Amino acid sequence: MILSWKAPIYYNDKLIGSYDAERGSYETAGSNFDYLSLLTGEPYPAEMDKPKIFFPCQKKKLLAYDCLWLLGDIPLVSQRLASFLVQNAGHHIELLTPTSIAADGEEVSEVYYIVNAAQAISAVDHSKSVAELSDDGSILYFNEIWLHDDAAGMGAIARERDSGDLLISRELADAMIEQKFKGDKGLGFYTAERSFTPYKNQA
């Protein structure tokens, strides 16, 4: 089974990292960073700056979790979870070190990594899904979405070409749950059968 991996439904918005000191910022001032590069399922551009990350929460709150979220449903993971992902999904991801991380104005010296899926696959079941289309026929978003149980090229982690969802295999998700990695309201795993449904109460 293929799952969607994104922020839990009732995730604390103070634990959502932005890319500049202004809350909700998708851009880093004075930088060529573009968060959309993390949604393509391709290697991170070598010439692009790594972002600065800012959280409005206190540092001690941030450090309580292995899996945090950045704007755009991009995971930021602890050193412990990063090491686990390298062992279990190393060929399918890149781990990017932010230029800096700040929590409520305090520098975070502990190491966290941005998870970038380095491959894109087609996993949406278009025979069941219902999409909103632009004038030129391209997909804007899905009103109803179903994921196939399996898809060509799916390894441990990938980006879905049409929806942009970050995908994770059930096997890897189960292993993360078993290892008791911690995230606010869960790790953010969903099944996609018409709508997104939390998997094992993880969202």
Whole-model pTM: value is 0.94
Residue-level pLDDT at 137: 83
pLDDT category at 71 given cuts 50, 70, 90 is very high
- Average pLDDT on 8-26 reads 94
Mean pLDDT of 19-47: 95
Segment 184-202 shows an average pLDDT of 96
Q: Residue 94: pLDDT band by 50, 70, 90 thresholds?
A: very high
Look up residue 71 and give its two tokens: 């704007």
Q: At residue 135, does pLDDT exceed 90?
A: no
pLDDT value for 182: 97
